[in-house]
Chains A and B, each alone.
Chain A
Amino acid sequence: MTGSDRVQFRDELVHVSALNEYVYCPRRFYYQRYHDEIGRPYELVDGRSKHDGQARRGGWVRERYFRSEDLGLHGKLDLIESDGDVLTPVERKRAESETYFASDEVQLAGYCMLLEAVTGEPVNVGYVYLYSTDERHSVRITDRHRETVHEIVSQIESMRVDTIPPLTDNPSKCEACSARTYCMPEETARLEPERARGTGWENPDAVSLGGEES
């Protein structure tokens, strides 16, 4: 009994950015949600200042907050492009990689669904803009995306503080993760191997990344 019964998140909506966090690593999301342990990594601070530096141009709406009880979602879209009646959300990513990830697609799908829930108009395309390449990629939102968003919202709603998600199935994600210091995936696998069973950290020797700090 850790007092988790007192924690009640069911009435709360899921933030769209949480979809991305959860898909990246549910355990990382757990720390962020219950322990406020992610802090403010450099990337986030820097990303914020880049948002602020964006010039205003015609046909763009910036920083709009939306919520939908039906979807169980809320969030702020940092950019919406409007072309006549068609609204298209743009999600900007500071990450240094020259590509975007499945988690970014899910987040974008969340924005599209939120936008269509609020406007009543279908929104089937969104853009991911990458600072690293100064390119934007259009993403067609499919039924599969929509199902994934619903699934993740319900998984997040059913999270409990006394049940920590397992280590990630893909240890390369840990390399740049700011939660690694206290998540201790490699160390957990060495100290209590059964805790790593069935995860990407099952065999720490094969995936060891050393004790580097970012």
Chain B
Amino acid sequence: MFDESVVFVTTQGAQIRTDGGRVVVWDVDGDDGELATFPIEKLDTINVFGGVNFSTPFVAEANDHGIVLNYFTQHGDYRGSFVPERNTIAEVRRAQYALGDEGELAIARAMIAAKIRNARTLLARKGVTGTEFLADLQARAREAGSADDLRGTEGEAAERYFSRLDETLTDGWTFESRSKRPPEDHVNSLLSLTYVMVKNEVLAALRQYNLDPFLGVLHADRHGRPSLALDLQEEFRPIFCDAFVTRLVNRGTIQHDQFTADNHLADDAFQTYLGKFDDYMQEQFTHPYFEYEVTRRKAIRQQAILLRKAITGELDEYHALEVSK
């Protein structure tokens, strides 16, 4: 259910239609006809990049089947979404809105502590030693007495972690410091792109389980900012996002000459990137708590469910995904 449930469409000029219970990607501009087809029951998210459109009957079907449609630019910048109307369950939303400061802080502490733990795990996997400072900061995050405390601890951990990330990269690649808007080098560009892609996986997961992605527990709520998605993304940043970027670079999948002058991936390289990203999301690992094999995509969705259970009181606390090996 989870693994093939997300579709990426990048063919410019393609149209997505419905045909007898199936989703069909159709080459409208060119002569290729049917490009791909999927059973509608299996999909929950369709991501389109650039000039791709949906037929109106398809959008009605997407609404009926609870399929979220996300729009990106050709370069992967998020533009907005179509969200089916059934994705609003009053009782879940009510519980989310009723979370007090204490409830929010408890969840945020678990997320940030897991992020710091996972940062240390990533460095350890790459043979970077001398990271005990992260263990101390993780302990501090668990004890944080206020959201500001927690943000301070998180900021310090991020700065110190990024200062060691360079050591995980193969020769010919360097990482000086994290820069955004715009990313100042190729590694930062890949990090930014991957954060957007994973944020979107998290957004889809939150929506699927009826949480409001715009009401956060740690990130300040700001108009148009999916704060809860950013919060939940924290624990995945090191082990899913950063690990993916180092893999792309270290295995030579992406090369320096595949970037444009403004540090975007060139079209062909972006196609390669999306393919690798989807494969990576479908790759399995042994879940640290449940001990069965699970894809990264499913793990993210399970965390959205666990978050909902913590919010609605089905579980006593939020159990963030902490990977310790």
Contacts and interface: CB of A to CB of B under 8 A. Distances in A.
A and B associate in one complex: yes
B312 A2 contact: yes
A162 B289 CA distance: 27
Interface of A: 1-4, 7, 34-36, 39-40, 42, 161-162, 164, 181-182, 184, 186-188, 190-192, 195, 210-211, 213-214
B16 to A, nearest CB: 21
B6 to A, nearest CB: 15
Interface in B272-312: 287, 289-290, 292-294, 298, 302, 305-306, 308-309, 312
A35 B302 contact: no
Contacts of A187: 289-290, 302, 306
Given A186-B290, A190-B290, A211-B294, A35 B315 contact: no
A29 to B, nearest CB: 15
A162 B90 CA distance: 13
Contacts of B41: 40, 42
A3 B98 CA distance: 9
Interface size range of chain B in the complex: 20 to 34
B22 interface: no
| Minimum-distance CB pairs A-B, first 3 | A211-B292, A3-B94, A213-B1
A176 to B, nearest CB: 14
Contacts of B289: 187, 190-191
Contacts of A39: 66
Given A2-B312, A35-B92, 17 more contacts: A34-B89, A34-B91, A164-B313, A164-B314, A181-B1, A182-B305, A187-B289, A187-B290, A187-B306, A188-B309, A188-B315, A190-B289, A191-B315, A210-B292, A211-B287, A213-B1, A214-B1
